[in-house]
Amino acid sequence: MTEESSTHFIHEIIENDLAANKIETIITRFPPEPNGYLHIGHAKAIHLDFGTAQKYAGRCHLRFDDTNPEAEDEQYVHAIQEDIRWLGYDWGENLYWASSYFNQMETYARQLIEQGNAYVCDLTQEAFKTYRGIPTQPGQEPPGRHRTIQENLDLFDQMRNGDHPNGAYVLRAKIDMTSPNLHLRDPAIYRIKHATHHHTGDSHCIYPMYDFAHCIEDSIEGITHSLCTLEFEVHRPLYEWILTQLNLYRPQQIEFARLNITYTVMSKRKLLQLVQENHVNGWDDPRLPTISGMRRRGFTPTAIRNLCTQVGCTKFESLTEIERLEACVRDDLNETSPRAMAILDPIKLIIENYPADQTEQLEIANHPQNESYGTRTVPFTRECYIEREDYMDDAPNKFKRFTLGREVRLRGAYCVTCTHVEKDEKGNVTTLHTTYDPETRGVNPPDGRKVRGTVHWVSTAHAIDAEIRLYDRLFTNENPLADKDKPFTDFLNPDSLQRCQAKLEPSLQTANPGDRFQFERVGYFCADLDHTSTTPTFNRTLTLRAAKKI
RNA sequence: UGCCGAAUGGUGUAAUGGCAGCACAAGCGACUCUGACUCGCUUAGUCUAGGUUCGACCCCUAGUUCGGCAACCA
């Protein structure tokens, strides 16, 4: 599979900038806050940030936007790096921290105060709300707005020195309390937080707000194109105001629409809730759209990157069908997964005319389209398991599998004909009795008769018992957030995880956690993190593309 | 009611004043030792109303609908 590079409005802007010699080397950045796990929405941003840098031979910085110690944690830092690497991107030497710039940012804050562009405000959060006003009405100037520069400088030093409790003061940019853009109504740029920072420890007790910090980070690092999601559009004037007042290099902020996918939720807050309320089993639950969840589920980095390429990048807030993600995953997995046989809902099949003491080692291809995957040996005996749904009483002619008197091929082995069936007292089939044609091992019947169906099987004497986790979409509603009257958790799919005990062919004994397979005719599976050779555990990544079975 | 932004088949996207194309989904068929894969065919679209133009998805005007913004979060 090829990952063709995409072109969209952002690349057009970059190409124009390059052509006009506005810039030499493009520098982007991916700026996660280490307060949660990355999800497929971040994958879109990562693909954009790193992929764009790659495409134009520039570079992409990984920068932790760690300006809020109360929300952040070291564990997320590691997880985020692991996820980005797994997706196939590398920041090389370019690892940065917003917190590394804290001293410099404080200097810039002082500069703003000295220029009369910032002041210390003692209004409580509640009180300031009143002063700020509402969208349709201008705000009022807070009392502290007219403090002298020296007073502001002294107060800011006190804040910085830890003389005041959390919330006592904040530093505000002095812009315009009547601006139609709320973000320009004297936004807070520094707040007091007596908290230990995971990276800077206790060296600071004031922390910059996003709007103040982010543009300075971008500027210091010489970012040429600062790509972010649409909700920051209204922040752009502030981004530009701060850098202009400070007379600093001004990167170009460009906004794009975030990725939304049907039948799931994408916000960190919602994902956190699902984890904390135990609707799922941790951040890497295979039902979650987190990178770690998708990895555990068996999705591939290639598939995720292909999805990002395919959905492109626009300013239209779209809702991508999960089927498209699944198509990308199947596409990659079909090419890259070795095949194996597994029976999820077994019934027995006995070949009456096959010697009871015989075992044949059949050599079966690991991939139908790619010989380089080699072959494996699969033991064949008189008795095997087949899938319950591969037999039907009084089956119509279109049904290609077992029914009384119909000849069916056992994949890679012989053609067998069902002679009679055994059922339990409830009428459920327990055993198929068959006869086989010894002339059909690995070949078509020599007399030219057509055998239409092929069914997978596992020798009962050699089968490995395994736990299989069958995953389905997490929500029953395409957009679980759309109903304003109901919490999104009302739409959780009660059957999103089902377990079953399966019979696996013995070659699967040597699988390692994370190994991916196609269980033929059933779906794509991968060995779970919990998988061991004594407790084999596989996750169903996806079923095969749904075909109408008769 | 203020500000910012967006509208192209069911979905996602291309066409930058010159044939509305591609992919996913759906339907039909072919092939097949996986009812997979692959291949062929089909269905289906420019938010509305005006205007400019030989010609408009594209430019202009007005409207409609949808999304974002009122955290000491990012």
- Which of A160, A268, A382, A540 is an active site residue? A268
Answer yes or no: is pLDDT of A417 > 90: yes
The predicted pLDDT at position A482 comes to 86
Please give residues of chain A from 156 to 185 whose alpha-adjacent beta carbon (CB) lies under 7 Å from any atom of strand B: 166-167, 170, 180-183
- CA-to-C1' span, A531 to B51 (A): 68
- Give ipTM to 2 decimals: 0.95
Phi, psi (deg, nearest 5) at residue A407: -90, 130
**DSSP for A56-107, written as a single string:** TT-EEEEEE----TTT--HHHHHHHHHHHHHHT---TT-EEEGGGGHHHHHH
The predicted pLDDT at position A3 comes to 47
A311 touches strand B (CB under 7 A): yes
For A90-125, the pLDDT digits (tens) are 999 999 999 999 999 999 999 999 999 999 999 999
Question: Which nucleotide has the shortest C1'-to-CA distance from A212?
Answer: B74
- CA-to-C1' span, A147 to B52 (A): 56
- CA-to-C1' span, A212 to B43 (A): 53
CATH of segment(s) A345-459: 2.40.240.10
Is A268 designated active site?
yes
In degrees, rounded to 5, the angle at the alpha carbon of residue A344 between the alpha carbons of residues A340 and A346 is: 110
The predicted pLDDT at position A7 comes to 85
**Chain region(s) in chain A for CATH 2.40.240.10:** 345-459, 464-543
- In which residue are the tokens 């063709």 written? A4
The predicted pLDDT at position A277 comes to 95
The predicted pLDDT at position A2 comes to 38
**Chain region(s) in chain A for CATH 3.90.800.10:** 117-205
The helix-helix angle for A236-245 and A210-220 (nearest 10°) equals 60
**DSSP for A106-124, written as a single string:** HHHHHHHHHTTSEEEE---
Q: What is the pTM of this model?
A: 0.95
Question: Which nucleotide has the shortest C1'-to-CA distance from A134?
Answer: B70
Residue A491 β-bridge partners: none
Q: How confident is the model at residue A546 (pLDDT cuts 50, 70, 90)?
A: confident
For A158-188, the pLDDT digits (tens) are 999 999 999 999 999 999 999 999 999 999 9
What is the domain class of A117-205 according to CATH?
alpha beta
CA dihedral A165, A168, A174, A180 (to 10 degrees): 120
For A293-310, the pLDDT digits (tens) are 999 999 999 999 999 999
Mean pLDDT along residues A66-85: 96
CATH of A464-543, one of 2.40.50.100, 3.40.50.300, 2.40.240.10, 1.10.240.10: 2.40.240.10
The predicted pLDDT at position A5 comes to 62
Q: How confident is the model at residue A1 (pLDDT cuts 50, 70, 90)?
A: very low
Share of chain A above pLDDT 90, in %: 95
The predicted pLDDT at position A524 comes to 97
Is A258 designated active site?
yes
Question: Which nucleotide has the shortest C1'-to-CA distance from A71?
Answer: B73
Q: Please choose, from the candidates A44, A428, A128, A490, the residue with its C-alpha nearest in 3D space to the C-alpha of residue A279.
A: A490
The predicted pLDDT at position A547 comes to 72
Report the distance separating Cα A425 and Cα A399, nearest Å.
26
The separation between CA A206 and the C-alpha centre of its own chain, rounded to angstroms, equals 34
- Which of A3, A15, A33, A151 is an active site residue? A33
Q: Please choose, from the candidates A538, A475, A529, the residue with its C-alpha nearest in 3D space to the C-alpha of residue A503.
A: A538
Superfamily of domain A9-101+211-324, CATH level 4: HUPs (3.40.50.620)
For A427-476, the pLDDT digits (tens) are 999 999 999 999 999 899 999 899 999 999 999 999 999 999 999 999 99
- Which of A55, A59, A250, A258 is an active site residue? A258
A296 touches strand B (CB under 7 A): no
What mean pLDDT is reported for chain A?
Answer: 95
A334 touches strand B (CB under 7 A): yes
Are the C-beta atoms of residues A81 and A63 closer than 8 Å to each other?
no
Is A70 designated active site?
no
Please give residues of chain A from 409 to 438 whose alpha-adjacent beta carbon (CB) lies under 7 Å from any atom of strand B: 409, 411-413
